[in-house]
């Protein structure tokens, strides 16, 4: 087993190898499913298999074959889009047209006016409760019209809790429902430096058969570090028997992204 890493990859593209439905649209085979401008850290861990033909005195190894079984990948990126994050977690994206209504909690502090009236921000659907802000006791409320309500006391501080329906657009990311069940094609670029001339050149990384194997890990809180998206995957051999390859690293003679 061997391991190597790149400090930075850029122009990373993950393409579908078969038709995939994402957020209500179909991504065709060969179409990019996610693009990453810059990957901050990329680790590649090669897993090899050694098989020996044995025989003769003490059954010693006579011939040994070595083959790469897979390459395990770990990429890190600090900023990502919804689709990129779905790819990182291999989670299915669904738009609101295919979901049940979305109900959100709302808890606000208000004060009744001289006639006991107060208003809420959204139209409550259910779980409507009003409490005395000072004592926490429930308060009897009368619905007047629309967002307006009334209690029997004027200038009373209240804590109002209810649920309302969110009616704007939204997208659901379902963890546990895989975005992809097959393989993706990956191509990325990196920078290499000639040991003799010091010239910077472009390196191309190609993985024809990549399986997403990510797991969710997020830390939240005031003292937590910023969320860093980690993309985990496994590259498998591809091609006819005897000519299989797991990953290609191509060294170009130029820096094809140079401004000069």
Tell me the C-alpha distance between 139 and 129, whole Å: 8
- Segment 157-185, tens digit of pLDDT: 999 999 999 888 776 766 655 666 788 89
Give the residue among 100, 97, 119 at the shortest CA–CA distance from 108. 119
Q: How far is CA 255 from CA 8, 156, 181, 259, in A?
A: 15, 70, 36, 9
pLDDT of residue 56 exceeding 60, the answer is no
Give the domain ranges of the chain. Answer: 106-166
Q: Give the DSSP H/E element, type plus range, for residue 84.
A: helix 82-89
Q: What is the dihedral of CA 227, 170, 148, 133, to 10 degrees?
A: -20
Strand 117-119 to strand 102-111: parallel, antiparallel, or no bridges (unpaired)?
unpaired
Query: What does the pLDDT read at residue 174?
Result: 63
Phi, psi of 113 (to 5 degrees): -85, -165
Tell me the C-alpha distance between 30 and 52, whole Å: 39
- 201, 192 contact by CB (below 8 A): yes
Tell me the C-alpha distance between 133 and 156, whole Å: 8
Which pLDDT band, with edges at 50, 70 and 90, does 113 fall under?
A: very high
Tell me the C-alpha distance between 160 and 139, whole Å: 10
- Segment 195-254, tens digit of pLDDT: 777 788 888 999 999 987 765 454 445 554 555 556 778 888 888 877 788 888 888 888
């Amino acid at each position: 087993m061997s391991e190597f890493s790149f400090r930075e990859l850029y122009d990373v593209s993950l393409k579908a190898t078969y038709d995939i439905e994402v957020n209500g649209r179909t991504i065709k085979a060969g179409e990019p499913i996610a693009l990453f401008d810059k990957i901050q850290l990329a680790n590649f861990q090669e897993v090899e298999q050694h098989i020996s033909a044995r025989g003769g005195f003490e059954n010693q190894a006579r011939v040994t074959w070595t083959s790469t079984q897979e390459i395990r990948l770990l990429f890190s990126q600090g900023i990502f889009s919804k689709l990129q994050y779905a790819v990182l977690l291999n989670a299915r994206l669904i738009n609101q047209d295919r979901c049940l209504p979305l109900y959100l909690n709302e808890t606000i502090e208000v004060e009744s006016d001289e006639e006991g009236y107060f208003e809420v921000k959204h139209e409550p659907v259910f779980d409507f409760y009003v409490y005395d802000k000072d004592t926490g006791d429930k308060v009897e409320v009368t619905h007047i019209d629309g967002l307006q309500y009334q209690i029997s006391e004027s200038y009373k501080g209240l804590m109002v809790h209810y649920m309302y329906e969110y009616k704007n657009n939204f997208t659901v990311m379902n963890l546990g429902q895989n975005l992809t069940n097959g393989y993706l094609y990956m191509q990325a670029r990196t920078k290499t430096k000639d040991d003799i001339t010091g010239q910077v050149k472009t390196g191309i990384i190609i993985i024809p058969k990549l399986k997403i194997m990510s797991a969710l890990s997020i830390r939240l809180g005031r003292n937590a570090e910023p969320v860093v998206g980690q993309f985990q995957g496994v590259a498998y051999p591809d091609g006819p028997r005897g000519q299989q390859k797991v990953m290609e690293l191509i060294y170009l003679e130029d820096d094809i992204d140079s401004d000069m």
